[in-house]
Amino acid sequence: MTKSVRIAAVAILFATLQVVACLPSVAQTTYDTAVQINPAHTGNIVFPGGFTPPLKQEWSVNLGGLVSYPLIANGIAYVTVQDPKQVASRLVALNLTTGATIWSQSIKGTYGTSLAAYDAGIVFDLNFNGLLQAYSAESGTLLWGTKLPKMYAFGSPPIASNGTVYVGGDGVGGDAYAVNEQTGKLIWTTFLDEGASTPAFGGSRVYMDTACIYTSFNYKTGKQLWQTGRPCFGGSNYIPVYYNNQVFDQDIAPLGGSVALTANLGQLLWSFASGGPPAIWPGNQSDPLQISSYGSNLTALDATNGSPVWTFTGDSAFAEPPITINNVVAIGSIDNTLYILDAATGVKLWSTSIPGATGSLSDVGTFEWLGAGEGTLVVPVETSLLAFVQAN
């Protein structure tokens, strides 16, 4: 696939969760439990032991198919792998220290893709046809399987939080789903006219995009709380981000760009250019940044008012969103470079060549995006997975 096609695919396809203490929240651990680190998709994580360059590569493993974003918990990295024959995917558990395979499960489904989330010792896998399955994170034992009803296209990553798996599905319109983590029983479903994206969770609400609206739901009942119109464009493979009572949603620049909205009412705060979900760098809480990739630029805005702070220009385009680890930003380019930047200033601290491009490289979208957990940066590079740690 050419670089221009990769960029176009990403533009279309394209932790610290802060909530009020009395509301349900994601435990603040060093785990990576969803695409963009956590169910809020802030792309932010803090390692108690620090994380500063230079980095060293601990291991690399070729898994034989396009590799998804990783999940990381209890010394294990979990990825889904697209089968080259496009008839099945694999859910693979790898030793985080060595890269050795601990267990693997074959997942049949259209396009040979599936997407995963983690919570409380369970890995949840969703195939393109809407089969949601739960596996023991330790052993890979199948715990239950549920075929989600009505919709037929499930190409957006699920999330799992506080005993519930949240899923968006497309077909004739779309549906938002909530499923019990322990039993696989459907808790609620809400119909949406124009498809449904990856959910985000925060502040007792679930947030989603469709092709024509931004929207939120009560996390317990699925009742729609607000809708904000957006310029309509094709499908709904966008990933909202929740942070500090704000929601950041994506759209392509010709249709007005991405937006920051109030989480309680969906009111517009500001617009910004972004090819995917922004990562949040909390700073010292009084000066958080939202950091977005767009083309060959990485731009940081003040996350309280949208004012520009810094811009970094890479030597090629970025086909994935950044993540923030402690006080640095990590991102890979389509010209095979992994960058580590100072989060406060955007100054490049370190870079290294990697054996391929990062980003979404298939027509359906495998979301080959960075992950980080338990002191380790995990980098999907086409069919390989690489692990980096601090050199000192």
Residue indicated by tokens 């069919």: 383
Domain regions of the chain by residue span? 3-390
Residue 231 has pLDDT above 80, yes or no: no
Residue with tokens 């990739």: 293
Q: How far is CA 71 from CA 18, 371, 373, in A?
A: 20, 7, 8
> 377-386 burial string, b = 16+ CB within 10 Å, else e?
bbbbbbbbbb
What's the token pair of residue 186? 């459907």
pLDDT band at 113 (very low <50, low <70, confident <90, very high): confident
The residue-averaged pLDDT of 211-217 equals 88
Average pLDDT, whole number, for the chain?
A: 88
Token reading at 387: 């692990």
Express as a percent the part of the chain with pLDDT over 90: 72
What's the maximum distance between 2 C-alpha atoms anywhere in the chain?
A: 53
Q: Identify which of 382, 209, 294, 283 has the alpha carbon closest to the alpha carbon of residue 10.
A: 294
> What pLDDT does 143 receive?
98
Q: What is the pLDDT of residues 17-42, one digit of tens each?
A: 333 333 333 344 689 999 999 999 99
| Span 196-207, average pLDDT | 93
Question: pLDDT per residue over 232-251, tens digit each?
Answer: 765 556 899 999 999 999 87
Mean pLDDT of the 382-386 span: 95
298-331 pLDDT, tens digit per residue, is 999 999 999 999 999 998 889 899 999 999 999 9
Q: Read off the tokens for 132.
A: 């949601």
% residues pLDDT > 70 (the chain): 88
196 and 169 Cβ atoms separated by less than 8 Å: yes
pLDDT exceeds 50 at position 185: yes
Residue written as token pair 């338990």? 374
Q: Which is more confidently placed, 19 or 141?
A: 141
Q: What angle do CA 173, 175, 178 make, to 5 degrees?
A: 175
361 has a pLDDT exceeding 60: no
Band of residue 12 on the pLDDT scale cut at 50, 70, 90: very low
CATH architecture, domain defined by 3-390 = 7 Propeller (2.130)
- The confidence score (pLDDT) of residue 252 equals 59
pLDDT at 369: 95
